[in-house]
Each structure stands twice: as C-alpha cells, then as structure tokens.
C-alpha cells in the first residue's frame, strides 16, 4: 500500500513537472528513473485511478495517442501540436483572451484551442539537415 502511494505520487510528479501532456509509455519511461521496477501495467492502473479522482485528464486529439496532464483550476489549457513529430505541448504563456460572439441560437460555454506548428527540436533538425545538404552540394 505504501509502495502504491509512492508510485502514484511519483507518477503525479512526472505528469506535473512535464511541459507537455504525456502518453502512458512516456510517463512510464520518466517514472522508471525513480522506480526501476515499475511496470507499464502499473502505470496504466495508476492512470485510471488518477482519472477517477480527477487529478489528471486525458488529452485526446484525432489521430493521436491519448496523453495526460494535471487538472488545474484554469481548466483545459491551449495546446501546441508539432506537425512533424506530433508531440503536444502546453502553451507556455497566458492564453490570449477570446471574446465569444453573442449568438441567438447558441450559448457558448467554452472553447478549445489548438495551435499547430513545429517544435524547436524539429526546427533545429530541419536547419541542421539543410546545412548538411548545402555542404554536400558544394
């Protein structure tokens, strides 16, 4: 039971300290640094528990594996999706304010924002590859 609680806390720490929502295998890899004996099945079990207790939430975009992040008071945060590596990141700055239009036939209660682009790692890799091919053609 104590081991269970510690594992759960370790998983929560991994999810909380990440700058982006994580897939279960990513959570597993990061938590294994602290708990080498941790099993992937145990990670899935804790994820279910953490979802039940509403400590984490699933981020589920079409064509993407479900990722998990900590539920915070701001509700769902905007995400950045890299078109190349498909990783999902949290928007690291305050979300720009969105003014809802007043509609006759619909009451808007919320919204979800996804920004697409390329992450720094992919931009840098593209630049490296470009400079390699420049050198090769000389």
Residues found near Zn ion in the complex (CB under 5 A): 82, 84-85, 119, 122
What SS3 state is found at 76?
coil
How far apart are CB 30 and Zn ion at their closest, in Å?
18
Backbone torsions φ then ψ of 77, nearest 5 degrees? -95, 150
Q: CB-wise, 36 or 92, nearer to Zn ion?
A: 92
Pick 40 or 85: Cβ nearer Zn ion: 85
Q: What does the CA dihedral 6, 24, 54, 113 come to, rounded to 10 degrees?
A: 140
Q: Shortest approach of Zn ion to residue 87 CB, angstroms?
A: 5
Q: How far is the CB of 82 from Zn ion (least distance, A)?
A: 3
Q: Name the minimum Å distance from CB 4 to Zn ion.
A: 35
- 115 half-sphere exposure, CB direction, 13 A CA radius: 14
CA atoms of 107 and 94, how far apart (whole Å): 25
CA nearest neighbour of 59 among 3, 102, 118, 18: 18
By beta-carbon proximity to Zn ion, the closer residue of 112 and 124 is 124
Of 43 and 119, the one with the shorter C-beta distance to Zn ion is 119
């Amino acid at each position: 039971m104590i081991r269970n609680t510690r594992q759960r806390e370790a998983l929560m720490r991994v999810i909380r300290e990440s700058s982006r929502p994580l897939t279960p295998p990513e959570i597993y890899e990061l938590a294994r640094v602290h708990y080498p004996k941790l099993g992937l099945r145990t990670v899935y079990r804790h994820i279910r528990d953490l979802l039940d207790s509403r400590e984490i939430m699933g981020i589920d975009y079409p064509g993407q594996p479900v990722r998990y992040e900590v539920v915070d008071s701001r509700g769902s945060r905007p995400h950045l999706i890299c078109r190349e590596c498909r990783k999902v990141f949290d928007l690291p700055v305050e979300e720009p304010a969105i003014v809802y239009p007043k509609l006759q036939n619909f009451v808007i209660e919320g919204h979800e924002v996804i920004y697409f682009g390329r992450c720094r790692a992919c931009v840098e890799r593209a630049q490296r590859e470009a400079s390699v091919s420049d050198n090769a053609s000389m």
